[in-house]
Structure 1
Amino acid sequence: MNLLDLVSGPVGQQLIGGLSNQTGASDSSVSSAVSLALPFLLSQMNKNASTPEGAANLDKALNDHPGSVLNNIDGLLNSGNMADGLGILGHVFGDKQNQVAQNIGKQSGLSTGNVLQILATLAPIVMGFLGKQKQSNNIDQNGISGLLGGLLGGMQQTNGTELSMIEKMLDSNGDGSIMDEAMDLGSKLLGGFFKK
């Protein structure tokens, strides 16, 4: 099972429904936020893992996320504890996490707080999926970037131009000018997968 299979199935529907209930937002708004957040998370993780130190740090973090969360989405949603997710976001995006949330919020119509809640819930799920893949395929830190690159490559069959737009946004000063293109990528990849 790849990540798209995961989020297009019962886990994705459960996640969207739960986040919609928590935030009071529509399923379509939550879906828009998730569909953009996922490529952002994977792209930035891949960028971070491109250095030996970054790959080692991510490898260590994945050892703490063996995938059990995938079998307990309700528990994650109902716990109300976002500490793990916020910690992951801090490692992935650094001081850009609020900027990312603000721009996703502009496109999805959600508040920055709601987007941060969605990101903080999505992050452990992504880490759990990656941790499970690492464990089942015996991937060490030298293979982390390959794992992420394979997932990103499977999500799109382009030359990477759209993903570089995401990276450009992460490196920008937050004017959000390329968020339409990034949202197009997110919608193209996942837009139809979260609709019940």
Structure 2
Amino acid sequence: MAGLLDLLNSPMGQQLISGVAGQTNQPEDKTANVLSMAMPLILGAMKKNVSTPEGAQGLMSALSSNHSGGILDNLGGLFSGGVDESVMNDGAGILGHVFGSKQPQVESALSAKSGLDSGSVAQILKIAAPIVMGFLGKQTAQSNVSDGTGMNALLGSMLGGQPQENQSLITSLLDADGDGSILDDVAGMVMGSNKKQGGLGGLLGGLFGK
């Protein structure tokens, strides 16, 4: 089962980092840092959404109709001459669905943690979202996932790839208050607030070797 660690550490991941950095005119190291936080964050929000039958069905329908993974087969073409506006619009739609009204808070939190301006972070997120969906689409097909239970398990495995202790820690941090508000917790942790000691950014940075 391939996880985000496998993707980001692969030659494809390096091509993704280089392409996104070129698109946003930002250094590759800072771009990699944002992606290492943003991509698990997007998957984590999706995992929260599929906890309901409606959310699971909506995600699976989107994967089967528009995000089978073809975008990953031509990353060179994706970044050649600039990312197409249709891809950016698709990313904006995905982010709006998974983050909702919390999206500006997520962008601000990632900006503060990475040192990039929020406008650049927003651009990186719009590119990352279709990539994450494409990766999820490929994994869904390869694993023959057909229901919400399977999708929830798949998302959990894709967020894994590190030692069990750290994987359990990420799972617990996704809703640190136990109040169901994953994005409040994530934003607080990425910001490294007093309420959420350590910070999701620091945790993921360690897991991704950044």
The TM-score, its normalising length taken from structure 2, stands at 0.82
Measure the CA separation in 2 of the matches of 1:113 and 1:67: 27
Question: Which moves more between the two structures, 133-142 or 103-112?
Answer: 133-142
Contact 2:173–2:186 at 8 Å: present in 1 too?
no
**What is the count of residue pairs matched by the alignment?**
192
**Which residue, out of 145, 148, 156, partners 2:152?**
145
The TM-score, its normalising length taken from structure 1, stands at 0.88
Contact 1:165–1:181 at 8 Å: present in 2 too?
no
Measure the CA separation in 2 of the matches of 1:43 and 1:112: 21
Contact 2:174–2:185 at 8 Å: present in 1 too?
no
Pairing of 1:72-91 with structure 2 (within 5 A): 72-77=74-79, 78-81=82-85, 82-91=88-97
Residue 171 of structure 1 corresponds to 184
Deviation at residue 87 of structure 1 after TM alignment: 0.7
Residue 113 of structure 1 corresponds to 119
Shift in CA distance, 53/156, structure 1 to aligned 2, threshold 3 Å: farther
Shift in CA distance, 155/47, structure 1 to aligned 2, threshold 3 Å: farther
Residue 14 of structure 1 corresponds to 15
Instruction: Give the ranges of 4+ consecutive aligned residues of structure 1 lying more than 4 Å apart after TM superposition.
Output: 172-175
Runs (5+) with no aligned partner, structure 2: 177-181
Residue 207 of structure 2 corresponds to 189
**Aligned Cα RMSD in Å?**
2.2
Say whether residues 1:125 and 2:131 are aligned partners.
yes
Deviation at residue 22 of structure 1 after TM alignment: 2.1
Runs (5+) with no aligned partner, structure 1: none
Identity between Structure 1 and Structure 2 (%): 44
Deviation at residue 112 of structure 1 after TM alignment: 0.9
Measure the CA separation in 1 of the matches of 2:8 and 2:89: 22
Shift in CA distance, 16/130, structure 1 to aligned 2, threshold 3 Å: same
